[in-house]
Amino acid sequence: MLENTQAKKTAEDVLESYNVLTESTKGLELLKAITNDPISTRFSTNLGRGLYFRQRYPRLSEETYNAVVAFYDFADSRCVNDLTDMQDISVQASTNNIGQGTVSKQSSETKLDNELKTLTFDGIDDFMAQKVLATASTGTFQLATIATGAMINCSALDLSPYINKFLRAKDSGGKYAWGYPKAVGGGEALGSAKAITGITKANPGVVTFQAGHGFVNGELVKFSGLTEMTELNGKYRTLVNKSGDTFTIGNTSTFGAAETTGGNCVQQVITIAATGVTIVSTLGGATQSWTGQETGFLPNAISTVEMLEPDFNITDALTVLMWVKPDDGQPATISMPSAKWDPNAPANRSWIVTLETTGQLKFWVGSEGTITQITDTAFFSNGTQASFSQIGFVYSASAQTVTFYGNGAVLASTVVGGTIPASLFDSSNLFSVGGSAIGTYPFAGSIASAMIFSRALSAAEIANIYNRDKGRFEK
């Protein structure tokens, strides 16, 4: 045990000198035993949040430690499990791993001159994307899109373990609806049966109700008692495209016959099965609706439901820092070192940072991606780069600003095409490194480290992080 006189050292110095947080619980107990510094109490209060990051980068603010979303250091063996599963080593409550599931789109692991490992991206189709926790792509899906009663159930995946995660549902045309599971379904409960006069055999099929049904777009219903279109008995459909007393209910063209008899055959699903969940528009929020639905989304043609960690769905402050070494500092085409963006999905975009053909860095933001900010001059020179560089940006929602950083210093930049918004769009897209999450705008070169924060870091903090790392990477 250290003497009391030594206990006067601050907790930060203890961290830096003795690396006591290698084993978090033991480290916290030691900190309590050897110092009365208030930071030890704060550590215990935030047990599990960014402990390894604290060890690597001491003397940052407590708010920044608590805002670590993910930290990838490809020189650290704890990060590189394999190329399909790159570990987030921030040692926080969530595990925000990234990876690439197909061999043809995996980056390769190489070595630097100073024996550090890095990831090399080929500039063709390599990228790393946020890992999916669970997927359902078979079975049946029940989906209500009504704003006051959003909910979903999958026959092939129990959704109840994923409360307070992030869910996105994809239809057969690649369109998404997305939101946050709030509560487990209370068990299926149905409303009173409503009368129909018929259902067409078509794509999409049209159901016609008798007057006074009370149904609105987005409600989930269950069919029973049909005498001709019997294949639909016991099945669920979402009512869409209301026109008078008619709705479309997805493809019915494969069924044997149209329904012409009708009767009291349709009941609203008021609460969903216990394997399903209700959906809210914000994490932990109270509004039972989907966060977003792409235009043309088909709730009766769901192909895949995915569960993810919600930590990358940042709408407020954001900081991203990376150590990169592009093959060409002024490449022939623009590339995305990091993004939460799908170039093929207008009105469903969050943000990207791109390396332009001029060597400038550019930040794109807004659901349509039309608002940009670009560095005033080239940060990267033309051609091969002699060493790694730290690049990054800080987005402040409250100030509606973006600040670029290069090697720990602010880079002058200019907003183009509008005003930086007061929030980032809460998109369904995955966070990615080395290109977009669908493989477009691939980055050519090496990436050694990436860190993401749900906070606007100060210039002093970014300089601190840069100075801690530059000895490793600027060689």
Q: What is the DSSP string of 298-352?
A: -TTSEEEEEEE-STT---S-EEEEEEEEESSSS-SS-EEEEEE--TT-TT---EE
Distances (CA, A) of 146 to 143, 275, 278, 294: 9, 20, 11, 15
Q: Which two tokens stand for residue 397?
A: 């929602």
Confidence of residue 272 (pLDDT cuts 50, 70, 90): very high
Contact 334, 356 (CB under 8 A): yes
Token look-up 């409303």 returns 191
Domain borders along the chain are 7-47, 66-131+312-473, 134-188+273-308, 189-271
pTM: 0.87
Average of pLDDT values for 421-430? 95
User: What is the tens place of the pLDDT at every residue in 133-184?
Assistant: 999 999 999 999 998 899 999 999 999 999 999 999 999 999 999 999 999 9
Confidence of residue 101 (pLDDT cuts 50, 70, 90): low
- Predicted confidence at residue 92, as pLDDT, reads 62
- Predicted confidence at residue 77, as pLDDT, reads 77
Confidence of residue 48 (pLDDT cuts 50, 70, 90): very low
Contact 100, 128 (CB under 8 A): yes
Residue 319: strand pairing partners: 394, 453
Strands (E), 250-301: 263-271, 277-280, 292-293
Distances (CA, A) of 254 to 23, 201, 299: 60, 8, 18
Mean pLDDT score of the chain, rounded to an integer? 87
Alpha-carbon distance 143 to 159, whole Å?
Answer: 13
Chain-centre distance for alpha carbon 289: 18
- Predicted confidence at residue 331, as pLDDT, reads 98
User: What is the tens place of the pLDDT at every residue in 368-402?
Assistant: 778 999 999 999 999 999 999 999 999 999 999 99
- Predicted confidence at residue 342, as pLDDT, reads 85
Instruction: Kindly report the CATH class assigned to 66-131+312-473.
Output: mainly beta
Share of the chain above pLDDT 90, in %: 71
Return left, alpha or beta for 48; rule: phi > 0 is left, psi -120 to 50 is alpha, else beta. Answer: left
Q: What is the CATH number assigned to the segment(s) 189-271?
A: 2.40.30.180
CB atoms inside a 10 Å sphere around CB 348:
23
Which range scores top for mean pLDDT: 98-102, 103-107, 188-192?
A: 188-192
Share of the chain above pLDDT 70, in %: 87
DSSP one-letter code for 37: -
Alpha-carbon distance 199 to 203, whole Å?
Answer: 11
User: What is the tens place of the pLDDT at every residue in 65-100?
Assistant: 999 999 999 878 788 767 777 888 887 666 788 987
- Predicted confidence at residue 146, as pLDDT, reads 92
Average of pLDDT values for 116-127? 87
Q: Measuring CA to CA, which residue among 224, 221, 228 is closest to residue 247? A: 221
More confident residue, 124 or 220: 220
